[in-house]
Structure 1
Amino acid sequence: MRKLVVSAFVTLDGVMQAPGGPGEDDSNGFAHGGWTVNYWDDQLAAFMDETMSTPFDLVLGRKTYDLFASYWPNAPEEVGAKRLNDATKYVASRSRPTLKWSNSVLIEGDVAEGVAALKKEDGPELQVHGSGDLLRTLLRHDLVDRYRLLIFPVVIGSGKRLFSEGAVPSGLKLVDREVSTTGVLMNTYESAGEVVTGSFDQD
């Protein structure tokens, strides 16, 4: 059984849209692309390197796939490039695109069913980076086993959020935590079953 691991950059108010730069995703008039850049430090770089230090395959939405495919094959000397280029890339798309990045495979049919089938296979962990639309599908079907969340000390107010309507209510367990020199929380969570409620009412 393969674990599905989500790695995501999010603001304090849960926005994950266009963390890397203007134009990355300006849909719905989003005007704050690149909100992570000024917070980047060596600790964040080390955290991301550790994230990719074990064998993995990728599960990507079409937009994130296109973004990665336009960069990583052309930057072989960058840290992590070989691991990304060598990994199998499973791509979710509503169309049938030509996937030119090496080791890329289109997920046929229903995406949730396809990812559930991948999880049942033998192999390395499945990592999801970015891919907001795909993530919402995975969350609706309760397919995520672990979250590596980098929570940045910034509030955007609008934009695509990691957890939105349709996410399955579930508990999470914090299994690792770090804080960067710029105040970014680098937290790792695992699924912990159903939400447990209670009451402070003593009567």
Structure 2
Amino acid sequence: MRKIIVGAFVSLDGVMQAPGGPEEDPVGGFRFGGWVAPFFDETAGATIDELFAKPFDLLLGRKTYDIFAAHWPYAGADDPIGPLFDRINKYVATRNPAFRTTWQNSHVLGPDALAAVKALKSEDGPDLLTQGSTDFLKALFENDLVDEINVFTFPVILGKGKRLFGDASFPRALTLVNSRASENGIVISKYARAGEVTTGSFEFDTPTDAELERRRNLT
């Protein structure tokens, strides 16, 4: 069975929109496109290399696919990511039935993208790595399909923008596999699935009269 592995650049307040440049995704009047570039450093680059070192296929939403297809095939041999992305399979989720891929080794997931993803997960083969793809990621989180999350948290607050998680994400406990801080303050953390969410309490065994009154006031 294949894993779905998320790779995400996020701000401290969870925004992941348009990390790569001003024209990448200005939807909604987002004006901070390219916010990753001033912080990107050697440690972040090395961690990306580690993420790409194991065999994988890409699992992308259509907007991120379009961004990648307009960039990586033209990156040239000096950038190893371009030839790597050319070579591997790229699976794209789109609501447009007329959408046609233009990039080699690209495959449309079809009208029921989630069913297609579940079928891919059940097969033998390389893991499925997401990049960007905010809307599609929300569907993956809502349907409990994500196995591992690699989050690069940048020391910046962006306010409005597309975020990594939505309110409908499937409740899930995670284990921190490893974490490191880069020289420019990027906190890079890997999380794996760890079963159901558990809860506890710091309340008194016998609630005070003030606490009981507080609870009554909540309703």
TM-score relative to the length of structure 1: 0.97
Contact 1:148 1:186 in 2 (8 A): yes
Structure-2 residue corresponding to 1:119: 121
**Secondary structure at the counterpart of residue 134 of structure 1:** helix
1:28 counterpart letter in structure 2 = G
Distance 1:82 1:54 in 2: 15
**C-alpha displacement of 1:76:** 3.2
Deviates more, 1:24-33 or 1:139-148: 24-33
**Secondary structure at the counterpart of residue 84 of structure 2:** helix
Larger Rg: 2
Distance 1:79 1:180 in 2: 22
**C-alpha displacement of 1:48:** 0.7
**Secondary structure at the counterpart of residue 176 of structure 1:** strand
Q: How does 1:14-53 map to 2 (within 5 A)?
A: 14-53=14-53
Structure-2 residue corresponding to 1:143: 145
**C-alpha displacement of 1:38:** 0.6
Structure-1 residue corresponding to 2:217: none
**Secondary structure at the counterpart of residue 5 of structure 2:** strand
**Secondary structure at the counterpart of residue 36 of structure 1:** coil
Runs of 4+ in 1 over 4 A off after TM superposition: none
2:101 counterpart letter in structure 1 = L
Distance 1:187 1:3 in 2: 18
Structure-2 residue corresponding to 1:94: 95
**Secondary structure at the counterpart of residue 39 of structure 1:** coil
**C-alpha displacement of 1:82:** 2.1
Distance 1:110 1:198 in 2: 39
1:56 counterpart letter in structure 2 = F
Distance 1:11 1:49 in 2: 21
Distance 2:159 2:69 in 1: 30
Contact 1:90 1:105 in 2 (8 A): yes
2:20 counterpart letter in structure 1 = G
1:82 counterpart letter in structure 2 = P
* CA displacement, residues 129-183 of structure 1 (integer Å, 9 cap, x when unaligned): 0000110111110100000110001111111110112111111110011111000
Deviates more, 1:80-89 or 1:131-140: 80-89
Q: Which runs of 5+ in 1 are unaligned?
A: none
**Secondary structure at the counterpart of residue 158 of structure 1:** coil
From 163, 172, 175, the counterpart of 2:174: 172
Contact 1:49 1:80 in 2 (8 A): no
**Percent same amino acid among aligned pairs?**
48
**Secondary structure at the counterpart of residue 38 of structure 1:** coil
Contact 1:174 1:190 in 2 (8 A): yes
1:110 counterpart letter in structure 2 = D
Q: How does 1:154-193 map to 2 (within 5 A)?
A: 154-193=156-195
Q: Which runs of 5+ in 2 are unaligned?
A: 206-219
**What is the alpha-carbon root mean square deviation over aligned residues?**
0.9
